[in-house]
Amino acid sequence: MVIGSVGIATCVWCGWASGYHRTTAAAEITWLVTAITVIVADTALWRGRTGGRLGGHLDAVGDPWPRPGRGGNRSAFWGVAPWLALVGVVVAWEVLGIDTGPHRYHLTISALAQAYRPLNAALLLVWVLVGIGYEAARVRSPASNLAMFDGPRDPGASGNGNALAATMASMGNHHGAPALLLPSSPPVGVAFWVAVPLVAVLIDIAARHSKGRRATAEEFVRFVSTTRLAHITLVAAWFFAGYHLFAR
């Protein structure tokens, strides 16, 4: 019941906060409040793992990944290959989307999210879930592994419906040449970014039925964040992505 209420409240918050466009004080404030909330939740999960007070308890997983005695590093690489492929496709799409000029369609997630409010709300929700899920995956690591874890800008936009309509209209009125390889239709870009989390869910489901040969999303997170440097880099990337997408 409590989890359901928190989930509904989070969805409502993301829907409301999505009305503010970047470079406004309201957007920066709502992003900061969201980031602090995620940090508080992650701290509660961490304290629960270390036995601290006011912490949320999550049981550790029974088996580490990669599974012992199943091919070593080569097996681990093939186990995370679907996730690496998905990341590679997303990075390639973003790079090609940036290639477009200032008066052409931009199909990067930052530009599309500012033009389509539902996508912006969904993206904010995904960002929150990634921030909490990342810490949840780490605190659920087997006990023996615990020691190793030490778009277009609109400065004048007010965030209301008129500003959103104006932004969407400005995108629809661009008639420049498309990017080198990407299509020139914003709906196609939206479809791509909607498909990304769906593909991630399918990869996770397939991994759960692979008897440990493939890494689930949780196992992939623990695998790539094992070292302190990787952990710090991923956390910094999460903060930067949130600030870029929802504040500036």
| Residue pLDDT, tens place only, 149-179 | 434 444 444 444 444 444 444 444 444 444 4
Residue 108 Cα distances to 91, 115, 125, 192, angstroms: 10, 11, 18, 10
Measured from the Cβ of residue 237, the count of other Cβ atoms closer than 10 Å reads 10
Residues 86-98 as b/e (b if ≥16 CB within 10 A, e otherwise) read beeebeebeeebe
Measured from the Cβ of residue 48, the count of other Cβ atoms closer than 10 Å reads 16
Average confidence score pLDDT of the chain: 80
- Residue 97: the pLDDT is 83
pLDDT above 90 as % of the chain: 44
| Residue pLDDT, tens place only, 102-154 | 556 678 898 899 889 999 999 999 999 999 999 999 888 876 554 434 344 44
Cα gap 70→182, rounded to integer Å: 40
> pTM of the full predicted structure?
0.77
- Residue 131: the pLDDT is 94
- Residue 182: the pLDDT is 80
| Residue pLDDT, tens place only, 191-206 | 999 999 999 999 999 9
- Residue 154: the pLDDT is 45
- Residue 246: its H or E element: helix 228-246
**DSSP-derived secondary structure for 60-118:** PPSS-SSPTTSSHHHHHHHHHHHHHHHHHHHHHHHHHHHTS-TTS---SHHHHHHH-HH
- Residue 175: the pLDDT is 43
